[in-house]
Amino acid sequence: MNGDTGLNGNAGMKKLFGTDGVRGTANIHPMTAEMALRIGAAVGQQFRRDRGGVHRVVIGKDTRLSGYMFENALTAGLTSTGMNVLLLGPVPTPAVGLLTRSMRADLGVMISASHNPADDNGIKFFGPDGFKLSDKVEAQIEALVDSGVEPADASTIGRAKRIDDGRYRYIERVKSTFPRRMRLDGLKVVIDCANGAAHRVAPETLWELGATVIPMGISPNGLNINQGCGSTQPQAAAEMIVAHGADVGICLDGDADRVILIDEKGRVGDGDQFMALMAARWAADDRLKGKALVATVMSNLGLEHFLQARGLRLERTNVGDRYVVERMRQGGFNLGGEQSGHIVMTDHATTGDGLMAGLQFLAEMVRSGKPASELLHQFDPVPQLLRNVRFEAGQTPLEAQSVLQAIAQAEASLAGGGRLLIRKSGTEPLVRVMAEHENAVLMEQAVEGVVQAVEQAVGR
């Protein structure tokens, strides 16, 4: 499989929006205060249904220092078009999706760069139904950013105010997805909040359900989000689990829309293992709609084989939880996600929710009486290798003839026993080279050949 699969629709036509909203380094285009103001005005005009009535926007953020700057800039742009703004403060991304719908807002905005370092930031949007915007709507917003918007009359400029109960509403919603009359009493849980948006809500939720909570990553200072902690760096949590004799670890990322689980032995389980567990469980309970799981091209072949053995299907999409959700809605499916830990359960939420997924795993531990180590090993993965190569702005390494030749050679070497995926990241300036094959040596040679060609093409 060479490059993008075409599943993105017209995503390639967009310049400002990536796989998950607008993202980049703070104070460098496009993530500047000026651009945030223009985006706020554009999206305000896009979602203001008419010139009368009440128009409401909810804005959440994670704990990055630049969040204050973008919160103010977006508020200025939105209110200039007559939108009233409700500021939630630090809350998880799924809370914004939930509150957009439950508070009858026209729009939801989350200021976060998810798992990226603290210097980065991003802006993602939710429509009034609580789901992320489509490529088509994002393209319309980009057009408004380019052309400029008509400000509201002075008498109809919007208002802004902070609301304090957003996180409590979210906690109660997440708890409501946990089985009734089930408790977590007796379970010792390490929860790593990545010094991010869930640093309050996640420990509170687990404690209220009865767990003995060992929190970490709960002291954000604006600069330490995802730093040595969270779903992308779970080593510290794994050590904490072993040191405290905990039953399980739940590692969230900066905006808490993804989760990585760790068993009682300190071993990490990825999103594929969790999705296999939930798909099999839901299928047994006749809850898995369409007898299918939706995942991306990055999910392991072992997951596909696991599902096929149980008469279930794996529906693949391009990378990005937004594309997973779009396919779920199109096909009427209710379970999907990504190997990286985005888990989407549309019976409960409109986007990936790391805390909610963690609770579903804990519920399965309680129900089955099995340890995390058993539940997190549903199948033997096919050997998989992923390498990233960074490139500079303006470079197009995947168009270089030498790279195309290396890809063709790698595909030929893996033919019949595995697959190769080459793509640009939608959130960082990276080329991602991934291969799977039962022969690990052959797989490594194929990946290394492509990586070397890309590195040479970008002058490394």
Which positions are annotated as active-site residues?
Answer: 114
CB-CB contact of 209 with 250 (8 Å): no
CB-based burial, 413-441: b 16+ in 10 Å, e otherwise: bbeeebbbbbbbebbbeebbbbbbbeeee
> Tokens 């795993």 identify what position?
361
> Tokens 């299928």 identify what position?
283
Which of 400, 424, 421, 402 has the alpha carbon at shortest distance from 411? 421
Look up residue 179 and give its DSSP letter. Answer: P
CA 231 to chain centre: 11
Please name the helix (run of DSSP H) or strand (run of DSSP E) that holds residue 75, with its range, or none: helix 67-80
Return the CA Rg of the chain: 22
Which of 74, 65, 89 has the alpha carbon at shortest distance from 164? 89
How far is the C-alpha of 125 from the C-alpha of 230, rounded, in Å?
23
Q: Report the residue count for the chain.
A: 460
Q: Is the dihedral of CA 243, 187, 276, 258 positive or negative?
A: negative
Question: What are the structure tokens assigned to 446, written together?
Answer: 């194929």
Cα first-last separation, the chain: 25
CB-CB contact of 227 with 216 (8 Å): no
Which of 348, 420, 424 has the alpha carbon at shortest distance from 385? 420
